[in-house]
Chain A
């Protein structure tokens, strides 16, 4: 929608898509000084940029460097707008994300977190090397709609296969399990006992958009 706010945020969107964190910060400060509410900067700036990036990654090659640059710019803007973190009420749905015990590679996880925050979701990040039981406990505590597990290395596969059972043991059979990452994405959902295997961060985010929309409709 072409509104005054979206027009005002256009330079911010451009800076975010260029991965220019310094320009994104300057634009954010300009918008705040002009009186635009942080909520609008998120919806018209961050979410718009995420949508454009999603489109780009659908038709072009997804690469880590460019996404990391955008992620850094988004993080700088979020920190400027919400120094104490995104208010819980803003989140459209809550997701719990982790790299499971035995895997200390968390770049991919961090990118997914950035994309989801940029889309307005609340994301509880349990970090790396996270036990399955800790993940299930957090899903219960946080009222998560889904848990997301990222895996770069093959030895993590048996851990991923345990997530569903750990959730069910807590009565959380309705919590979706989504996997992604260089190793996990080579396997089918049935091989991992998960609901969805994401090809990349945006593919996973699209699946979660659908889940969140279903939840809102219900």
Chain B
């Protein structure tokens, strides 16, 4: 089986030669490829080359055309500060606290900010890999983009103080996610990962998720499916046990669960949805190859009787992670 077949087998709860293995390796690929993170985050060709090298080294079943959470808000007009070896920060938001989101013009993915570089990366990755591995596009989810447009503190207070304006910001964000995601699918992505860390119950209560985010994510899934997505991967880190059951309502093909949620709970909450997780991301900062390999084997065993599982991390594996840890993990996963 190849990587894409393995992932579809996991989604379909079908037999496979081994569990799918998709560690969340984004900026780490820059180190593997020997380039500065700052360059990786601005050049689609470099990103594609580094992701391919990362896949050759660790045997992952997918590659990610993901830069950082600043891509969309920068395309809307936010100003970012870039660093050599860490992800950029927003230094000037696209929206001031008093601004109406209606003033924003939806960015054109073919020309706005770094969006064209993402599309270029996808074209290159798909041209090289064909259907041998999953080429995953990525967008910021509505809640995360709303917080990136206003700033987290402003956005969260707005959600309480001016719910109508906040809802408008969510709608703008959801529309941008659909447009950018559709462009990525047109460029060749097999599916879209919707990263929405700000939707985590660590940030907003589960009731907020149900009231404001559930229906928007469901509509986003429908829109992306219509645009050709074969996979809709909902990726929310943190203590998501209370919102996981809603992922099935949304129609997610793959659901990330983080280290806060044990495999038994995740299985119970989502009995017929493929689960991806749940290695602890920052464990990779303390070099412990044997421990990580043991965790990987335990996780795979926990899903051996049902399938529907992708061995992954619950969040991004940090760019500074020790390659020895990743090699041990890949060997334990049977990917090398």
Determine if A64 is an interface residue (Cβ-Cβ < 8 Å).
yes
With both chains docked as a complex, state the minimum distance between the C-beta of A109 and any C-beta of chain B, in angstroms: 12
Contact call A65/B86, Cβ cutoff below 8 A: no
Tally of B interface residues using CB under 8 Å: 30
**Interface locus among B4-12, B96-104, B196-204, B222-230:** B196-204
With both chains docked as a complex, state the minimum distance between the C-beta of B209 and any C-beta of chain A, in angstroms: 10
With both chains docked as a complex, state the minimum distance between the C-beta of A144 and any C-beta of chain B, in angstroms: 26
User: Taking A61-B205, A63-B201, A65-B204 as contacts, is the C-beta distance between A153 and B87 under 8 angstroms?
Assistant: yes
Residues of chain B contacted by A53 (CB below 8 angstroms) = none
Residues of chain A contacted by B286 (CB below 8 angstroms) = 187-188, 191
Determine if B106 is an interface residue (Cβ-Cβ < 8 Å).
no
Contact call A61/B239, Cβ cutoff below 8 A: yes
Interface bits B149-183 vs A (CB < 8 Å: 1, else 0): 00011001101100000000000000000000000
State which residues 64-116 of A face B: CB under 8 Å.
64-66, 68-69, 72, 102, 104, 107
B285 contact from A19, A64, A68, A154, Cβ within 8 A: A154
Residue of B nearest to A71 (CB): B153
State which residues 150-205 of A face B: CB under 8 Å.
153-155, 157, 182-183, 186-188, 191
Residues of chain A contacted by B208 (CB below 8 angstroms) = 65
With both chains docked as a complex, state the minimum distance between the C-beta of B246 and any C-beta of chain A, in angstroms: 15
What does DSSP make chain B's interface, helix, strand, loop or mixed?
A: loop
Tally of A interface residues using CB under 8 Å: 23
Determine if A207 is an interface residue (Cβ-Cβ < 8 Å).
no
**Interface locus among B54-62, B129-137, B276-284, B295-303:** B276-284
Residues of chain B contacted by A154 (CB below 8 angstroms) = 281-282, 285, 318-320
Determine if B85 is an interface residue (Cβ-Cβ < 8 Å).
yes
User: Taking A65-B156, A154-B320, A186-B283 as contacts, is the C-beta distance between A102 and B86 under 8 angstroms?
Assistant: yes
Contact call B205/A68, Cβ cutoff below 8 A: no
User: In the complex, A19→B204 CA distance in Å?
Assistant: 14
Residue of B nearest to A185 (CB): B282
Contact call A68/B201, Cβ cutoff below 8 A: no
Residues of chain A contacted by B86 (CB below 8 angstroms) = 102, 153, 155
Residue of B nearest to A102 (CB): B86
Determine if B89 is an interface residue (Cβ-Cβ < 8 Å).
yes
B282 contact from A19, A66, A183, Cβ within 8 A: A183
A186 contact from B83, B153, B242, B280, Cβ within 8 A: B280
Residues of chain B contacted by A63 (CB below 8 angstroms) = 201-205
Contact call A69/B242, Cβ cutoff below 8 A: no
Interface bits B213-255 vs A (CB < 8 Å: 1, else 0): 0000000000000000000000000010010000000000000
Residues of chain B contacted by A153 (CB below 8 angstroms) = 86-87
User: Taking A102-B86, A154-B320 as contacts, is the C-beta distance between A61 and B201 under 8 angstroms?
Assistant: yes
Contact call B202/A64, Cβ cutoff below 8 A: yes
Determine if B206 is an interface residue (Cβ-Cβ < 8 Å).
yes
User: In the complex, A38→B285 CA distance in Å?
Assistant: 47
User: Taking A102-B86, A153-B87 as contacts, is the C-beta distance between A66 and B153 under 8 angstroms?
Assistant: no
Contact call A69/B87, Cβ cutoff below 8 A: no
B152 contact from A107, A182, A187, Cβ within 8 A: A107
User: In the complex, A104→B202 CA distance in Å?
Assistant: 19
Given contacts A61-B202, A107-B153, 11 further A-B contacts (CB under 8 A): A19-B160, A61-B201, A63-B201, A64-B202, A104-B89, A154-B281, A154-B319, A183-B282, A186-B282, A187-B285, A191-B285
- For the complex of A and B, the 4 pairs showing the least CB-CB separation, nearest first, are A186-B282, A154-B318, A155-B86, A64-B203
